[in-house]
């Protein structure tokens, strides 16, 4: 891979990635100390099968791994996409099995690699296919040209943060000069907080439990998450990637009560301001005795509520970041891009939380259907 802004050689990238392994991790993947603490990883050593109807790294494992590295790249205009994806799928299988020598002896543990293709590539397979539409622009964006859009998403997750740059280097080596990196972002999830039986969610940099609501049951995932057709995309999903800076300093000046009014949940527990448990659906009609809404009109949970907007549920996954600025890498998975675009459009008008965010990167990708030995990655779209 080569970065679009500085154009180093692929060898330079591999050398730089190896240096990250030698001296430490990027800030977004670090522990709270300045240097990686091996006692903090791996949290889980249970392998996650990379093959099946769906790619790993969306609903599996559960809960999601603590560390992520997302790489967004472009594919050369003359590159045969089918063979490229098939080779990447083979590399993923070897990396997750621990048989790739480029792991340099590191056990993969619960490593997952999830690969998606951007709208330009999807349109070459079929202009009407899900995933062919570009993501529109929204307010509160400060996005450089190279940080908007892209042809290829490689999402790498693991409990052991050291595995991430090593896996990225191996995949870069396999892709060679056929792809050119646009940007990358590492991130880390906070400790998981139980919100219901079998369901947990992490805290974000604002101190709130993040990602409670989503398609958590099999029925909800079939309805709102996975694509069921057309045949070339069945088993895939649509991902939206948004990197956001958070104004932590200004948010911290608010009282806890005011912070909770911005979000619509209690900070300590994740419980909606309308009451119940963290997993309870917010009661948007609940009022105080003097007639004020318990969940303010501009609270995030009200403005983003799927029933209010009339859309399906998004599987939302956020990773806190430290570089290039404190913030988060927000990813949502849904089977209809309009679920995201309608939600953000509704939030854009008067969501109190958005006033503390600035989006600095944005893209959407079709997460390819699952693969196996007989059906290479991407074969249904790019035979």
DSSP 7: -
Residue 4 pLDDT class (50, 70, 90 cuts): very low
The domain of 306 spans 10-367
In a domain, 82, yes or no: yes
List the beta strands (DSSP E) in 118-165: 152-158
338 vs 344: CA distance, rounded Å: 10
Residue 17 pLDDT class (50, 70, 90 cuts): very low
Sign of CA dihedral 338, 66, 103, 322: positive
In a domain, 1, yes or no: no
Could you report the per-residue pLDDT of 305-333, keeping only the tens digit for each? 999 999 999 999 999 999 999 999 999 99
In a domain, 287, yes or no: yes
Q: Which has the closest alpha carbon to 239: 146, 316, 127?
A: 316
In a domain, 281, yes or no: yes
Please, is 198 exposed, middle or buried when counting C-beta atoms within 10 Å of its C-beta (0-12, 13-18, 19+)?
Answer: exposed
Q: Is the pLDDT of residue 56 over 50?
A: yes
Could you report the per-residue pLDDT of 19-39, keeping only the tens digit for each? 333 333 333 333 333 333 434
The percentage of residues in the chain with a pLDDT greater than 70, rounded to a whole number, is 89
- Give the angle subtended at the CA of 152 by the CAs of 121 and 16, to the nearest 5°: 150
Please, is 322 exposed, middle or buried when counting C-beta atoms within 10 Å of its C-beta (0-12, 13-18, 19+)?
Answer: middle
Could you report the per-residue pLDDT of 127-147, keeping only the tens digit for each? 999 999 999 999 999 999 999
DSSP 203: B
Task: Dig out the tokens for 240 from the structure.
Answer: 């939206």
DSSP 134: P
Lowest-confidence range among 13-22, 48-57, 91-100, 218-227? 13-22
12 vs 349: CA distance, rounded Å: 44
In a domain, 381, yes or no: no
Q: What is the per-residue pLDDT for 118? A: 98
Lowest-confidence range among 7-21, 169-183, 274-288? 7-21
| Residue 110: how many other CB atoms lie within 10 Å | 23
In a domain, 199, yes or no: yes
pTM equals 0.88
Lowest-confidence range among 169-173, 199-203, 339-343? 199-203
The percentage of residues in the chain with a pLDDT greater than 90, rounded to a whole number, is 86
In a domain, 19, yes or no: yes
Sign of CA dihedral 367, 193, 203, 277: positive
Mean pLDDT of 198-215: 94
Phi, psi of 154 (to 5 degrees): -120, 105
Q: What is the per-residue pLDDT for 1? A: 57
Q: What is the per-residue pLDDT for 21? A: 36
113 vs 55: CA distance, rounded Å: 8
Secondary structure (DSSP) of 214-264? S--SHHHHHHHTS---SGGGTT-EEEEEEEEEE-HHHHHTS-HHHHHHHHT
Residue 48 pLDDT class (50, 70, 90 cuts): very high
Contact 114, 169 (CB under 8 A): no
183 vs 173: CA distance, rounded Å: 17
132 vs 128: CA distance, rounded Å: 7
Number of structural domains found in the chain: 1
Q: Which has the closest alpha carbon to 28: 60, 61, 66?
A: 66
30 vs 97: CA distance, rounded Å: 25
Element (H, E) at 92: helix 81-97
Residue 18 pLDDT class (50, 70, 90 cuts): very low
Residue 349 pLDDT class (50, 70, 90 cuts): confident
More confident residue, 198 or 12: 198
Mean pLDDT of the chain: 90
Q: Is the pLDDT of residue 194 over 80?
A: yes
Mean pLDDT of 263-288: 97
Mean pLDDT of 92-117: 97
Mean pLDDT of 336-352: 96
* Three-class SS state of 5: coil
In a domain, 372, yes or no: no
156 vs 186: CA distance, rounded Å: 9
């Amino acid at each position: 891979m080569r970065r679009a802004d500085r154009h180093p050689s692929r060898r330079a990238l591999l050398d730089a990635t190896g240096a990250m392994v030698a001296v430490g991790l990027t800030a977004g993947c670090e522990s709270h100390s300045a240097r990686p603490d091996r006692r903090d990883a791996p949290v889980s050593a249970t392998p996650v099968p990379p093959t099946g109807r769906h790619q790993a790294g969306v609903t599996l494992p559960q809960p999601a791994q603590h560390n992520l590295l997302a790489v967004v790249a472009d594919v050369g205009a003359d590159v045969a996409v089918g063979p490229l994806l098939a080779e990447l799928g083979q590399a993923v299988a070897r990396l997750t099995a621990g048989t790739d020598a480029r792991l340099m002896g590191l056990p993969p543990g619960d490593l997952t690699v999830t690969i998606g293709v951007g709208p330009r590539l999807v349109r070459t397979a079929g202009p009407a296919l899900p995933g062919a539409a570009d993501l529109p622009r929204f307010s509160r964006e400060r996005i450089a040209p190279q940080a908007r859009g892209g042809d290829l998403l490689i999402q790498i997750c693991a409990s052991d943060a050291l595995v991430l740059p090593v896996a990225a280097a191996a995949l870069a080596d396999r892709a060679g000069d056929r792809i050119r990196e646009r940007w990358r972002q590492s991130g880390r999830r906070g400790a998981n907080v139980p919100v219901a039986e079998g369901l947990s969610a992490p805290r974000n940099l604002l101190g709130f439990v993040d990602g409670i609501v989503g398609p958590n049951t099999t029925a909800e995932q079939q309805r709102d998450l996975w694509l069921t057709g057309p045949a070339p995309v069945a088993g895939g999903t649509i991902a939206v990637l948004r990197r956001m800076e958070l104004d932590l300093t200004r948010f911290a000046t608010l009282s806890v009560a005011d912070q909770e009014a911005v979000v619509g949940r209690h900070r300590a527990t994740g419980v909606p301001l309308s009451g119940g448990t963290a997993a309870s659906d917010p009661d948007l009609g609940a009022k105080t005795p003097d007639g004020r809404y318990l969940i303010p009109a501009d609270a995030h949970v009200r403005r983003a509520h799927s029933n209010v907007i009339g859309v399906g549920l998004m599987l939302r996954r956020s990773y806190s970041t430290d570089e290039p600025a404190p913030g988060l890498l927000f990813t949502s998975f849904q089977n209809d891009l309009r679920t995201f675009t309608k939600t953000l459009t509704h939030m854009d008008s008067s969501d109190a939380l958005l006033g503390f965010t600035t989006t600095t990167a944005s893209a959407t990708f079709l997460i390819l259907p699952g693969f196996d030995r007989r059906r290479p990655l991407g074969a249904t779209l790019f035979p």
